[in-house]
């Protein structure tokens, strides 16, 4: 599966075991508690948690997304874009590639959680048709010790 993301000359494809180090670095840049290379290597190798990367022809990774299949539902576990690629549509294209990849799966709805103060992510998910179905107070830890609320969102896949 390859999804081309013009005009950035990036494409989306399944992650490979050798991508775990870069994916862990990107995750740590975007989240207070990043996951380790070993954790991502296990997800990449495992069943039920597909990881996709947006990369160029030389396999420089601009971003990634990871799913968890739950029967007729699929959860967006995490998504992160390299700082130098942010605000260039990489997150949007990763999400669209995920939707395309899920067309032949049994999944009928996608779920996700996002920090209530993550305005950029909330805009992206709203643009993609997600709507709020709940919230989890104090769900995300923050560096200063104050917890952030998670907004739980869902979108039908068709």
Q: Tell me which residues are annotated as active site.
A: 113, 125
Residue 33: both structure tokens together: 């508690």
Distance CA 88, CA 91 (A): 8
Distance CA 138, CA 149 (A): 5
- DSSP percent split of the chain into helix, strand, coil, nearest 5: 30, 35, 30
């Amino acid at each position: 599966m390859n999804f081309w993301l013009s005009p950035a000359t990036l494409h989306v494809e399944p992650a490979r075991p050798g991508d775990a180090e870069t994916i862990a670095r990107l995750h740590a840049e975007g989240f207070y508690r990043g996951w380790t290379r070993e954790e991502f290597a296990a997800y990449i190798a495992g069943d039920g948690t597909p990881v996709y990367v947006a990369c160029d022809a030389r396999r420089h990774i601009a971003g990634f997304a990871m799913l968890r299949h739950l029967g007729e539902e699929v959860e967006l576990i995490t998504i992160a874009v390299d700082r130098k690629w942010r605000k260039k549509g990489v997150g949007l294209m990763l999400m669209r590639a995920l939707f395309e990849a899920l067309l032949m799966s049994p999944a009928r709805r996608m779920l996700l959680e996002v920090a209530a103060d993550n305005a950029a992510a909330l805009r992206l998910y709203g643009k993609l048709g997600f709507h709020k179905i709940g919230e989890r107070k104090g769900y995300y830890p923050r560096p200063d010790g104050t917890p952030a609320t998670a907004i739980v969102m869902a979108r039908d896949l068709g």
